[in-house]
Structure 1
Amino acid sequence: MSTRPFFAARMEEFFDRRVESFLRALGWTEKVICYTGYGTAASARVLGRVILVPRRARTGIGKATEEIIRRRGFRNFVGAACVRVPVTIWIGDQEVHTVTDRGGYIDLRVRQPNLEPGWQSFRVRSAGSEVAKGRVQIIADDVRFGMVSDIDDTVISTWLPRPLIAAWNSFIRDESARQAVPGMARLYQQALAEHPGAPVMYISTGAWNTHGFLDRFLSRHGFPSGPMLLTDWGPTNTGWFRSGMAHKTETLLQLTRDFPNISWVLVGDDGQHDLSIYSDFARVAPDRVRAIAIRQLSPTEQVLAHGTNTTLNEQDDIAPEIPLVLAPDGRGLLAGLRSLEADPHEVEEKGDR
C-alpha cells in the first residue's frame, strides 16, 4: 500500500510552493502566527503557523487603507503558507527546533516543559521572521472538570454553514458587528468559577485563519480564555475534503489522552451534528463525559444551518446514562446544568467517576 499523500494534497503543496516562491520574489516576508495551546506538567502543545505577508505599509495613505480593512474578515486570509520551513521554539527552559508542515502549520508537543499551572508564554521564530509570542494553558494534574465548546452558533451567531452567508460573515462583515449567543459567556464564567483551574476548550470546523478574530471576539464578549482547536480547510493526506465531524471526534479523543483525569461538559447546538458527535464520544468514553448541553436554534437559524426549520433528529442517539440539557440560550443551559448538580444521586455518581 502506498504511503504517499493523496493526489490533491500533493497538488496543493506543489501550488503552495510556487505561490511562496513568487511572493518571496515580490518582497513578501515571513510572519509567525501563534495559536493558543495547552498542556500539562508532562507535555505542552505548541500551535502556530508561518506565512508570507506583504511588507507593512509605510506611507500615510497606505496606513490609512490598512486601518480601514483591518477589521474585515477577508484580511484573516491574506497570506501564503511557508511550506516546511525551520522554526525555533522557546518554551519554559527548553529551546526546540522543528519544521512547519505542508500548510505552514506548527503542531509540536514539547516534553517536560517545566511550566507551572496557569497561563504561560512561549516564543517562536523562523529564519526570516521576527519573534512571535504565544500563550499556552497548563492544566494541573489534580483538575477533574473541564468544558468543551463548539463555536459556530453555540457562542457566536455565524449562520454557518450556508456558503454565501458564511462567506459574507467570514470575509466581508466587520468583526465588531458579529453577535454572541445570549447567556453563553455567563454560563462558562460561572462553571469555571466553581472549578478553579479548569479549562474550556473551543472546538470548531472553522479555519485556523480565523483564530485571531475568534480570540478577540471571545475576549470582547466576556468568554473565558481557552485553547482553540480549529482546522485547515482543503485536501487531506487521504481525500479531497476534510470532515468536520471527524475533526471534532478526533479532537475529543485526543483530549481524553492528554487529560485522562478530566470529565467534560460538552456544549454545542442542534443546527448540525454536535449531539450525535458528543453521544458517540460518550459511548466510547462514558467516564469522560459529565453532561451534554445543547443550545436549541430558532426555526430561522435551523433553515440557515441545514435547509429545514426543524432540528436534526438525533436526540434518540444519546447514551441513556449521560445527562442531557436542552435550552435556547446560555441562561437556560446554566439552569439545567445547575439542576443536575442539585441532584444528590447525580453528584455522587459524577464524584465516583
Structure 2
Amino acid sequence: MSWLSPWASFVKRLVHVIARPMKRDRGHGGMMVHPYRGYGSSKEVFVMGRVFRQAALGRAIPRRGILRDTADVTRRIFRRGLADAQVNIRIGENDLTLKTDRDGYFDAHLPITQSLPIDVSWHRADIHVHAEGQSPVRTSVEVYIPPPETDLLVISDIDDTVMFTGVAEKLKMLYRLFVRKPHRRTAFPGVASLYQALHRGETGKAERPILYVSRGPWAIYEMLETFFQLNRIPVGPILFLREWGISLRHPWPRRAEAHKRMLIDRMLTLFDELPCILIGDSGQHDPEVYAEIVKAYPGRIKAIYIRRVDKDPKREKAIELLRDELVDTQCELVLAPDSVLIAEHAHANGDISAWGLQAVIRDVKEHREEERQEAQS
C-alpha cells in the first residue's frame, strides 16, 4: 500500500535518530560518555554530561540498517547511568575533576584561571572518565564563550515557544521532520528567521549567545538538536533540559520546581555585564517567572516576548496585569500572536536588522499562503 511508504520512512528515520548516541561504542558496550554542548565566559565555563554503562551489541546483529537501529534503541532503553565515575575536564590549561551523581550525570563549573583565546567563540573541552571495573574513556565537547564585543544575551523557552508540545502536534512535527525533511512548519512560523536575526544583531554580523530552556528530559537531547538544525534555528551552546529520574523504582518524574528560574539566575550571573531578552509563551508560567527576574535584576532585561498560544481571556488579563507592573522598569512585556510582532518590536529597539525583520515577515507570509493553499486542496 502506497500510504504505508511515508510512515515506514518516518519510523525508520525516527528510530535512527534515537539510536544515534549508541553508535559511538561500535557495538562493544561498556562505559560510554555523552557530553552536552557547554557554555561559559572568560571567568567560568559549564559542561554537563552523563556517563552510562550499556550492553554490547550481539554478533548476529548487522552493523547498519533498521535491525541495527532497533537493537541500539533497545540498548538505549536499558542502559543505566554510572554513579561515582571520576570525570576530568580540561579546557586550555584549566582543568577540574569531579564525580558523577547517582544517575550518572556530571555538572562541571570550571573556573578559568588561565586565559583562553579571544579570537574564537567555540573551544574544545577534553573529557577523561575513569570508573572501577571499566576501561577509561576519552572524549571532547564544544564550549561556547561569547566574543568580547557581544552586546546581548537571549534566553528562550522551547516548549510552545519554538516548537509545539501537544501530543498530536508533536506527532505532526515528527512526521514533517523525518518524512518531509526540513520544513519550516515543524516550528512556529517565522521562528527560524527571528532567532537568526536575534543571533546576528542589528549589524547582521554579531554572534550573540542564545540559550534554551526546556521542561523535557535530557533523553530527548538528540531529537531537539536535529529539530533545531533542520529548521535552521541557531542551536546555541546548550539545550537546558532536566533529569526526570524515571525508573522502575521511581516511575514518575522528579519534581523540578524553580528549574527555569535557577538556570536563568545562573546565566545572568555568569554573563553579568550583558543585557538580556527573555522569550516564552503564555501557556505556562513564563510571564510570571520573567516578571520576577526583571525585578530581581534591575536594568538587565531589555524585553520580554511572550508568544500567545491560546485565547483564554483570563490568562490574557493576568499577563496584562504583569505588563502594567513593569511599566516603571526599563523592560516592556510584549504579548505577541506571531513572530512578526516580536520582530517589529526588536527592530524598533535596535536589536535586529531591517533585513532580519523582512525575513521574518516573508517567512510568516509564506506559511500563511501554504496554509491557504492546503485548505483549498
Quickly name the TM-score band, shorter chain normalised.
0.7 to 0.9
Give the secondary-structure state (helix, strand or coil) at the position aligned to 1:314: helix
Displacement of 1:309 after TM fit? 10
Displacement of 1:242 after TM fit? 2.1
The answer as to 2:302 corresponding to 1:295 is: no
- Inter-CA distance 120–310: structure 2 relative to 1 (3 Å threshold): same
Match of residue 11 from structure 2? none
- Inter-CA distance 86–325: structure 2 relative to 1 (3 Å threshold): same
Query: Of the candidates 109, 133, 139, which is equivalent to residue 146 of structure 2?
Result: 139
The alignment-based identity, stated in percent, is 27
Which residue identity does 1:154 align to in structure 2?
A: T
Structure 2 Cα separation of the partners of residues 261 and 123 of structure 1: 28
TM-score of the superposition, structure 1-length normalised? Answer: 0.74
Give the secondary-structure state (helix, strand or coil) at the position aligned to 2:224: helix
Match of residue 222 from structure 2? 212
Match of residue 233 from structure 1? 244
Match of residue 115 from structure 2? 114
Question: Which residues of structure 1 form unaligned runs of 5+?
Answer: 1-26, 160-164, 303-307, 343-353
* Aligned counterparts, 1:1-353, within 5 A: 28-56=29-57, 58-61=59-62, 63-66=64-67, 68-69=69-70, 78-112=78-112, 114-117=115-118, 118-127=121-130, 128=135, 130-159=137-166, 165=167, 176=178, 179-194=186-201, 196-226=206-236, 227-234=238-245, 241-244=254-257, 246-298=258-310, 313-318=318-323, 319-320=326-327, 321=329, 322-341=331-350
Structure 1 Cα separation of the partners of residues 84 and 144 of structure 2: 26
- Inter-CA distance 264–75: structure 2 relative to 1 (3 Å threshold): farther
- Does structure 2 retain, via aligned residues, the 8 Å contact 1:144–1:198? yes
- Inter-CA distance 86–189: structure 2 relative to 1 (3 Å threshold): same
- Does structure 1 retain, via aligned residues, the 8 Å contact 2:55–2:75? no
- Does structure 1 retain, via aligned residues, the 8 Å contact 2:124–2:142? yes
- Does structure 1 retain, via aligned residues, the 8 Å contact 2:50–2:100? yes
Displacement of 1:94 after TM fit? 3.5
| RMSD of aligned alpha carbons | 3.4
- Inter-CA distance 154–87: structure 2 relative to 1 (3 Å threshold): same
Deviates more, 1:118-127 or 1:36-45: 118-127
Q: Deviations over 1:159-197 (max 9, x none)?
A: 2xxxxx39986xx97963692111111111111212613
Structure 2 Cα separation of the partners of residues 276 and 77 of structure 1: 36
Structure 2 Cα separation of the partners of residues 78 and 294 of structure 1: 39
Q: Deviations over 1:79-98 (max 9, x none)?
A: 31111111222322334322
Displacement of 1:221 after TM fit? 0.6
